[in-house]
Amino acid sequence: MSRFTLHGFHLSVPAYKVALAISMMGESFDFKPTNLRAGEHKKPEFIAINRFGQVPALEDKVAGFSLCQSTAMMEYLAGVTGKMGGSSPEEKVRVREWLYWSFDKLNAPIFRIRAQRFGFRSFSQSIAEMYVSEGALALDTVNKHLEGRAFMVGNSVTIADIEIYGAVSCAAQAGHSFATYPNIAAFIANFETQKGFKTALAFMPV
Ligand SMILES: N[C@@H](CCC(=O)N[C@@H](CS)C(=O)NCC(=O)O)C(=O)O
């Protein structure tokens, strides 16, 4: 039995990010599937471990509590393992800047369009166009930052890379072309060679 239990769903990128963080930090976890299409995330037993009724939920059996929100989970994991949170005070705050920026500008336009395509959300064409154009602006910001860099912060993989990878790896599913963002394409290729990397389905089978 592992210290951590991750409750997730194979299509959930937030759950995938936490799986990546645990694996890339050299730790292990037990995976428990939560079927979103069957509404399992709204059942009382799930709300008891994630008050927001969302996957992922992360149980830390050593600490004796469970966590909500994938980014908070990654920050917690970086804290308890001492890994991937940045190696100096400046790097640590740069990592957090990307986490908050991504939440603000990158995730919504990518994941709302993806959720629409997978049948989890519906909205009008004009709202879809707004998300595509906001997504393009955010991807452009990441692409420019990655000019001449292999990682979002510093010289090794951090949770900022996992955060950004989670979104940019879904860019094509949200209507964007990697041809426009060559630095992002190179970042993805490099990220996928890092120790502990696996695909979402390898962590979270259907
Ligand atoms: N900000 C949250 C987002 C979690 C989230 O949106 N989870 C989706 C699946 S990817 C979900 O559970 N959706 C159902 C719902 O929100 O009711 C996180 O990063 O953990």
Each residue's pLDDT tens digit, 133-192: 999 999 999 999 999 999 999 999 999 999 999 999 999 999 999 999 999 999 999 999
Which residue's CA is the closest to the ligand 1 atom numbered 13? 54
- Atom of ligand 1 at shortest distance to CA of 11? 10
> Residue 140 pairs with which residues in a beta bridge?
none
**pLDDT digit string (tens) for 64-90?**
999 999 999 999 999 999 999 999 999
Residues 6+ apart with CB under 8 A from 174: 109, 110, 111, 113, 114, 117, 131, 132, 135
**CB 8 near ligand 1, within 6 Å:** no
pTM above 0.95, yes or no: yes
Residues 6 or more apart whose Cβ sits within 8 Å of residue 196: 20, 23, 24, 25, 26
The residue to mutate among 9, 55, 169, having the most atoms of ligand 1 within 8 angstroms of its beta carbon, is: 55
